[in-house]
Amino acid sequence: MNAIKRVCCFLEENRERFEEELCAFLRFPSISANPDYRQDILSCAEWLRARFVEIGLAAEILPTKGWPAVVAETPKRPGLPTVLVYGHYDVQPVDPLDLWNSPPFEPRRENGILYARGATDDKGQVYTHVKAAEAWMRAVGEIPVNLIFLIEGEEEIGSPNLEEFIQERRARFEADAVLISDTSQFGPNQPALCYALRGLTYMEFVVTGSNQDLHSGMFGGIVPNPAQVVANVIASLKKPDGSIAIEGFYDGVRDAEEWEIREYEKLPWDFAGLARELGLPSLSGEREYPVPVRKWCRPTLDVNGLYGGYAGKGAKTVIPSQAGAKVSMRLVPGQDANRIADLFEAHVRAGIPSDCRIEIIRYQNSPATVIPVEDPAMRAGKEALQRGFGKEPLLIREGASIPVVAFFVDVMKMPVVLLGFGLPDDNLHAPNEKFTLADFHRGIATSAHFHDVYARIRSK
Amino acid sequence: MNAIKRVCCFLEENRERFEEELCAFLRFPSISANPDYRQDILSCAEWLRARFVEIGLAAEILPTKGWPAVVAETPKRPGLPTVLVYGHYDVQPVDPLDLWNSPPFEPRRENGILYARGATDDKGQVYTHVKAAEAWMRAVGEIPVNLIFLIEGEEEIGSPNLEEFIQERRARFEADAVLISDTSQFGPNQPALCYALRGLTYMEFVVTGSNQDLHSGMFGGIVPNPAQVVANVIASLKKPDGSIAIEGFYDGVRDAEEWEIREYEKLPWDFAGLARELGLPSLSGEREYPVPVRKWCRPTLDVNGLYGGYAGKGAKTVIPSQAGAKVSMRLVPGQDANRIADLFEAHVRAGIPSDCRIEIIRYQNSPATVIPVEDPAMRAGKEALQRGFGKEPLLIREGASIPVVAFFVDVMKMPVVLLGFGLPDDNLHAPNEKFTLADFHRGIATSAHFHDVYARIRSK
């Protein structure tokens, strides 16, 4: 029996134990946003470190300026390609708690589905790679690649220390490919390999008029209204046809290529069903582009938050002192994220009347990423998914953004293979987060196959 | 010594006791918005009823569908004019409690100022009329007018049962004039007689797109954004010059008359000081009109609340399912309040794209009021203020709205005399509400003089 067959047998024999271990991993309320969970976060990191040691990897907990990272690795064998597995052991907060059907940190298995906070984002997906490594070590005695794990504890709070952490240990983390499982399949039983992500520029602006809330009867007609100003500015960001009116916003935008559009149209979409599910008559947006292009390849601008004055029940006749908006823009290849932030700021400032003050806050600002599909790692990813799921993966983009991917690709010059094992409806960041157990096991198999295939491709 | 002189002597002799009684009145936390205060509200009404009985009036507590009203009256003597004093014994909630310098229901006198919730709005002002009636009864034995008190307990929750209550007892409340003290002087030591109020149409609209909040990365570009729709609609309500863009909004608006504008310009304004106080470079609005006209005689439209999506700290990439706005319009004579509400609704509905739903809520909807300044009651009010404050009152409008005034004037056909004894900075509805004790006493004197002057004018 060859090596990968032995690995696959080992996986079959250990399904139940793997699920039990994942449940143990999920019991830690490692909520990075809340310092009250400090001890749980540290215990979770220590538990994970111990699992790496158990299977024969050198593992340690490395401090950052925030929550620590768990780093594990196989002994470096020259001649083998090096694979970096990135993931995170921290989870989102759980509120609103009353919408959960069972406690978020008491994993529940029902009809082949595992419910718990972190089930898919990202403990469940991270653990597929840990168990694949175990299978190679136990069934074969070694892994056919040099494997490094970097499992951080701050992804859900925006990875504030990650880039610096990696830069400081650049040599240690240099690899031929990065594996990340923090996305989803295209749909049930439909694996997909994602080769591009949109970037993100997230801005907030706050407009202040008078220095206190005022009675609209006594002051209506003689003072500026910041809520009106905010609405005017937001309205000015779009043209009547819905396109973005910020001067220069579309400069440099690289359109999707012909072959991509042709591929997208072949995918098993159900847009009518999706619209129905969302309670909409149909999907909308830039009608001159096919829906997948609007969703993946076109830049967007969305108001994510609007606030000012009285938002409670009933009527209050107040002219607010302040009002504001949070606005995010999804960026595509060819757009410079910092330039977009500057253009947005200039546009907003130009819309503020002289008797109001404005404050602009810049949050995330990361470019779009495209990973060359012909990279050996991408080819290995495709074949690994085919073997793990028994089905050819689709080649897709994602409309969302994962800033660390742009960092790995653009700064570290390492291709990133996004192997998403979850489903689009797994309730990431929401109540009743879930992970299909069959996908957990297919994910482990995919990871195991990846090392096998990638080692073969690279040694050719 | 003539009657009014005897009344004035009585007032001088009883200043300290009147203040003590007002403090007792203020100790009841009669917060109408909160049913937890049920017993305090009822006790407060009973306390007030007892004060009327004490001075020789027939008084009773009359139930409404909500909190009861205290009604008191002198025996009806034919040939005398009838004066209805309207006021309220309920008060606003007190939060934020930590901004109060002393407990809101433990009245505190300091440097001639009385601090307590209700000090000026409206217990302190109501009590001036009670003590004026006492002075007439005790010092003279009778009041030179037929006097009716209607002191309700629901003004701070919008007087939901008042009009029906009065309509059902129309004959009982019919009077030649209504006295209301629930406004302010023009400024310290500057009494004013207000002869016009703006009306108010208060609307809210809520826009719904998809039936749940969506991830802006996964759905940005293919679904409607209700926050953007709300901003577009709000922006469309105004033209670039700041005028209101609702079709037909200005139809019928009656401009201030020449004599009014001339009078307003003579008033002791300090607009530069006001702007400085508000942290603004200058007052703004329709520059083609003088500031007092903008403030009192021109209709306005203000966003009072704006909401949708994520308004907390930091960034959340959500496309909100719902967003909305609260908008109020101050109306002037010549504008029909119901028509304005209809025009607003039509304008907003026209701005909603076909893939969004809209809900429109109508709150208060009351017309502007103008009380003829040559009415005998108004002349009496003017003279009473002159005598009570020792200074000629200014003739002013108010930019705010008191719906019951329109009801008395338009429906009951009774002139309303607004004798405001408070100051514009008395912190109505806010922490550290106050009432200047000198104004309390001058208010009592003014009320006492009113009956004297009005009886004389009417008997001519």
Q: Cα–Cα distance between A1 and B167 in angstroms, integer?
A: 97
Q: Cα–Cα distance between A207 and A347 in angstroms, integer?
A: 14
**Same domain (yes/no): B259, B306:** no
Q: Which of residues 251-280 of A touch B (CB under 8 A)?
A: 278-280
Q: Which of residues 120-139 of B touch A (CB under 8 A)?
A: none
Burial of A392: CB neighbours in 10 Å, binned 0-12, 13-18, 19+ = middle
Q: Do A403 and A364 form a contact (C-beta atoms < 8 A)?
A: yes
Q: Cα–Cα distance between B179 and B84 in angstroms, integer?
A: 6
Relative to beta strand A58-62, strand B357-366 is unpaired
Host domain of residue A209: 199-253+299-365
State the residue for tokens 């009065």: B166
Q: Which pLDDT score, from 0 to 100, does residue A147 have?
A: 98
Which of B304, B321, B332 to probe the A interface (max A CBs under 10 A)? B304
Which one of A300, A355, A363 has the shortest CB-CB distance to B220?
A: A300
Q: Cα–Cα distance between A333 and A336 in angstroms, integer?
A: 8
Q: Cα–Cα distance between A53 and A59 in angstroms, integer?
A: 6
Which one of B209, B232, B330 has the shortest CB-CB distance to A220?
A: B330
Q: Cα–Cα distance between A425 and A402 in angstroms, integer?
A: 18
**Same domain (yes/no): A130, A275:** no
**Same domain (yes/no): A137, A149:** yes
Structure confidence by residue, pLDDT tens digits, A38-58:
999 999 999 999 999 999 999
Question: In this structure, what CATH number is given to the domain that contains residue B217?
Answer: 3.30.70.360
**Same domain (yes/no): A308, A293:** no
Q: Cα–Cα distance between A259 and A232 in angstroms, integer?
A: 40
Among chain B residues, the shortest Cα distance to A218 is held by B399
Q: Are A235 and B236 within 8 A, CB to CB?
A: yes
Residue A303 amino acid letter: V
Structure confidence by residue, pLDDT tens digits, B149-202:
999 999 988 899 999 999 999 999 999 999 999 999 999 999 999 999 999 999
Distance of residue A223 Cα from the nearest chain B Cα, in angstroms = 5
Distance of residue B379 Cα from the nearest chain A Cα, in angstroms = 25
* Residue A358 DSSP symbol: E
**Same domain (yes/no): B273, B341:** no
The answer, for B314 touching chain A at a CB cutoff of 8 Å, is yes
Q: How confident is the model at residue B375 (pLDDT cuts 50, 70, 90)?
A: very high
Q: Are B219 and A295 within 8 A, CB to CB?
A: yes
Structure confidence by residue, pLDDT tens digits, A291-305:
999 999 999 999 999
Of B242, B267, B295, the last residue of a domain is B295
The answer, for B379 touching chain A at a CB cutoff of 8 Å, is no
Q: Are A220 and B302 within 8 A, CB to CB?
A: yes
Q: What is the ipTM of this complex?
A: 0.90
**Same domain (yes/no): B260, B305:** no
Of B337, B365, B393, the last residue of a domain is B365
Mean pLDDT for chain A overall: 96
Ramachandran angles phi, psi of A121, nearest 5°: -120, 90
Q: Cα–Cα distance between B70 and B85 in angstroms, integer?
A: 11
State the residue for tokens 């009385």: B114
Residue A277 amino acid letter: E
Of A339, A365, A391, the last residue of a domain is A365
Question: Sheet holding B108-110: strands in order across?
Answer: B108-110, B113-115, B434-436
Structure confidence by residue, pLDDT tens digits, A150-178:
999 999 988 999 999 999 999 999 999 99
Q: Are B295 and A221 within 8 A, CB to CB?
A: yes
Listed residue (A371, A394, A393) closest to A446, CA to CA: A393
Q: How confident is the model at residue B1 (pLDDT cuts 50, 70, 90)?
A: confident
**Residue numbers in B near A327 (CB within 8 A):** none
**Same domain (yes/no): B112, B146:** yes
The answer, for A341 touching chain B at a CB cutoff of 8 Å, is no
**Same domain (yes/no): B333, B230:** yes
**Same domain (yes/no): B24, B122:** yes
Question: In this structure, what CATH number is given to the domain that contains residue A187?
Answer: 3.40.630.10
**Same domain (yes/no): B437, B453:** yes
**Same domain (yes/no): B305, B373:** no
For chain A, what is the domain count?
3
Q: Do B159 and B404 form a contact (C-beta atoms < 8 A)?
A: yes
**Same domain (yes/no): A344, A443:** no
